[in-house]
A = this chain, B = another copy of it.
């Protein structure tokens, strides 16, 4: 099953879309947050009639298991360039899993000629994918979800899976979809939540960091090929941590930024 198939939505009433959380997209039984966001994003693309998210935010309300879901959408403004909509993704029993707010657009139609560009950082330096560390799915750890995406981790950032974490809250690596499925702007919502948590490398005494909120900005549709990604945490304080992501395409263009606010489980 492709990413496109696993995130498909179909009309199910006025502003409501039906979808399936497919099996195998989980970590310890809970569907990956970026995958759930991509389902909600696809419903909002359908609701707004705009093909691409420009900025989309999800608040995670409850873990998602495989099975039928619905997304109730509302378009709050439809302008010339952007349309803004909200969505609520629920399990069949009505339990809300994900609340979403986003502005959608047609990224192929922008920017206009002459718009200034000024970029003060480049993609992360990575060894070629064949020299990076493949994360392969298992029934437990690494989780089944790792069979749905292709990740190759920077060897310096893959120590958490072995014996020697780097000590830095940094994860860098390559991302693509299996079988050369193109990465569209909705698959970027998956990419920004596909990597292992940064704190796994930070020698912090935590086994998981549940996401409270994730925001992704999509700057452009990616060119074909591998994506270079980096995720970094600078502030573990107040019981929270942020994880800042950048995604660059094969032409060296920044295609997405993300930030999530995650929780440190109480000791």
A residues near B (Cβ < 8 Å) are: 54-55, 57, 59, 61-62, 76-77, 79, 82, 84, 86, 88, 96, 99-103, 107, 110-121, 169, 202, 204-206, 212-213, 215, 217, 219-220, 233-240, 242, 253-254, 257, 259, 261, 264, 266-267
Contact = CB atoms under 8 A, between A and B. Distances in A.
B266 A235 contact: no
B103 A101 contact: no
Nearest to A236: B118
Contacts of A234: 119-121
A233 B3 CA distance: 33
B117 A237 contact: yes
Nearest to A203: B118
B118 A96 contact: no
Contacts of A118: 169, 202, 204, 236-237
Nearest to A117: B237
Given A101-B57, A118-B169, A254-B237, A215 B212 contact: no
Contact of A236 (B79, B103, B112, B116): B116
Contacts of A257: 235, 242, 259
A188 to B, nearest CB: 13
